[in-house]
Every structure is written in structure tokens, then in C-alpha cells.
Amino acid sequence: MSKYNFLYALNNAIEGIIHTVKTQKHMKIHLLVSLFVIIFALLVNIQVSDLLTILILIALVIVCELFNTAMEYLLDMLNKDFHITIKYIKDVCAGAVLFSSIIALLVGGNIFSKYIFPLKSELIRHNYVVLMSVSLFFVIVTVIGIKAILKSGLPLRGGMPSGHSAISFSLLTSILMISDSFWINIISLIVALIVSFSRMWKGIHKGSEVILGAVIGSLITYLVLLLYEK
């Protein structure tokens, strides 16, 4: 490939990234969060290997968002009218972005946990990502399964039980079982309560749905970590 062709291709690639940043709200959010994470990582002076892992996770999320945007443009060009198959394709692409974001959150959280607060169990800390992922997996599957059986609401909106409540209390339980920091525990509890009861305040869930979600998230996570330690 000639130098001219390489520079031309490089320029097109950069223009594609810039266009995505200008037109896609989610890409702006990804970049702002990434900037915050990198700055925070430098402030807490994390190891080079951990920083490289963080950068790879950031790249994974951004790449998924770029492909998601490209697919949306392609599908909109092929058919501007609503079509259920196109909707499913867009949903799958969005799911890839969501999945990569969740993995980045779990792995990144495990990395930063070593620098933010002391942990009660070294055994759990060394396997924190796996345990947290397993707990959240079981929580999400349980919530979706109950909603499917009851034919109640969408996977993450409305219906019995509250998915937001289940996930927030799952994360809270994980933190309570590994953290010795009083203030970290209190802040985590407040955040979980705000996330959970905001669903009720907005009229999306009833009180019983929020409470059941909290119980499911806490109980499943507690059992996963407890059984692992034994």
C-alpha cells in the first residue's frame, strides 16, 4: 500500500470516529467515562499492567459502539420503514455494547477495588470478577425468568420483580461482604436505596416489586459468595 493510500485510509478512519462522537450521545458518554476512569487510575497510581487492562476494556466498549453505529446507518439506508427483523438486528448490536460495558464495569471494578478499600477475604478478592459476574448472571436470569413466567413488564423495566433493585442490591451485598470500610459500605447502601426506590417514585414499580428485587439480588449474591468461601 502506498503512503498516500495509507494516509487517505487513516484520515477516513479518524473522520468516522469524529462523526460518531459528534452524532451519537452514547459515544460521548463512553468517552467522558473513559476520560474519568483514566484520570482516576493515574490518581490512585495503579500498576502498569492494570492500566493496560483498563485501556483494553475501554477500547472494547468503544469498538462495539462504533460497529453498532455503523450497523444502524446501514440498516436505516436499506430500509427506512419499520421492520421487525431490522429492530432485532439493532437490538442485538446494542446488546453487544451493553455486554461489553458490563464486562468492563466488572473487571474495572475488581481492579480499582484493590486500590480503593481493603477486603475481608483474600480468597474472594482474588476471584472477585468471577464471583461478581456469577452473582449478577444468576440475579439477571432469575429476574428475567420470573418476569417471563408472570408475563410481567420488560426485562429491565416494570413488572415483578424490579431488575434495577435486584442488580443494585446484588452489588451492595458484594461490597458489604468484602469491604472493611464503614463509609464505603454506607455510601453503597445509600446508592442502592436511591436506585431501587427511584423506580417506585417514578411509578415504574410498586413497592412490593422493589422489595422483592432487593431480596432476590441480596440473597443470590450472599449465597454465591458464602458457598464459595466454604
**Domain map of the chain by residue range?**
1-116, 119-230
- CB-based contacts of 96, cutoff 8 Å, min separation 6: 64, 67, 68
99 vs 63 pLDDT, higher one: 63
**pLDDT at 106 (0 to 100):** 74
Q: How far apart are CA 11 and CA 81, in angstroms?
A: 33
For residue 156, the model assigns a pLDDT of: 58
Q: Which of 213, 97, 131 is nearest to 165 (CA)?
A: 213
How far apart CA 126 and CA 229 sit, in angstroms, is: 12
Taking each helix axis from N to C end, the angle separating 163-178 and 182-201, rounded to the nearest 10 degrees, works out to 170
Q: Is the pLDDT of residue 4 over 80?
A: no
List phi, psi (to 5°) of 118.
Answer: -70, 155
Instruction: Tell me how crowded residue 152 is: count the other CB atoms within 10 A of its CB.
Output: 13
pLDDT at 228 over 70: no
Tell me how far apart the alpha carbons of residues 228 and 130 are, in angstroms, rounded to a whole number: 11
Residue range 189-211, pLDDT digits in tens: 888 888 777 767 766 777 778 88
For 168, counting Cβ atoms within 10 Å of its Cβ (0-12 exposed, 13-18 middle, 19+ buried), the class is buried
pLDDT at 158: 62
Q: Is the pLDDT of residue 73 over 70?
A: yes
pLDDT exceeds 80 at position 178: no
| Class of 1-116 in CATH | mainly alpha
DSSP string for residues in 135-194: HHHHHHHHHHHHHHHHT-SBTTBSSSS-HHHHHHHHHHHHHHHHB--HHHHHHHHHHHHH
Q: Which residue has the higher pLDDT, 122 or 200?
A: 200
What pLDDT does residue 12 have? 79
| Identity of the residue numbered 201 | W
pTM score: 0.55
Greatest distance between any 2 Cα atoms in the chain: 66
